[in-house]
Amino acid sequence: MGAVYFYHLTRQPLEHTLPVLLDKARQAGWRIAVRGTDPARMDWLDEKLWLGPEEGFLPHGRAGGPHDADQPILLTTSAVAGNGATCIMAVDGAPVEAEEVAALERVCILFDGNDDMAVQQARGQWKALTDAGCSAQYWSEESGRWEKKAEA
C-alpha cells in the first residue's frame, strides 16, 4: 500500500520543486505521471522541464503522443496515465482517489501555499484521503528546508 505526501510550497515555486521531486522519484525507480488540470499549464511545465539544467535532464513527454508508454515521466490531465506510472505527482488541484494511493508506490500532492484556494483544496484532499484510510504525510518548506509537519 502506498502513501500520499502533501508538499506545501511557500518558498519555491512549482517549477523549482517539481524537478527535485521528479529526480528523487526516478532514483527510486518509479515511473511518474504528473497530473494537472489544465492542458496549457501542462505545456508550460513541459517547457520548464526541457529548459532545466543539462546535467539534471528529466526524460519526459506530454500525454497523447505515440510513445506515451515509453515515457518515464508523463505530463497529463487524464486520470489514466499511459506510461504505467507507479507514482503520481498531482499539481494545481488535480484529483486523487484513495484507490490510487493504495495501488501506487507514492502519490505527491504539490500545492501553492500562497494561494488560499489551493490550500483549502489540499486540506479537503487530506481529509478525504486520510478518512479513507490512506497513509499521509504533510511536508512544509516554511522554515527554509523541507520538514515533515504531520503524519496520519
Per-residue pLDDT of the chain (152 residues; tens, 9 = 90+): 699 999 999 999 999 999 999 999 999 999 999 999 999 999 999 998 887 666 667 889 899 988 999 999 999 999 988 999 999 999 999 999 999 999 999 999 999 999 999 999 999 999 999 999 999 999 999 888 999 999 99
- C-alpha span between 36 and 93 (Å, rounded): 7
Identify the structural domains of the chain with CATH numbers, from first to last. 3-151 (3.40.50.10110)
CB 105 within 8 A of CB 2: yes
Q: Return the residue matching grid coordinates 506510472.
A: 85
- Helices 14-27 and 39-50 cross at an angle (nearest 10°) of 70
Global confidence as pTM? 0.94
Residue 54 CA neighbour count, 13 Å, CB half = 0
Distance of CA 104 to CAs 20, 23, 33, Å?
Answer: 20, 18, 11
88: cell is 503520481
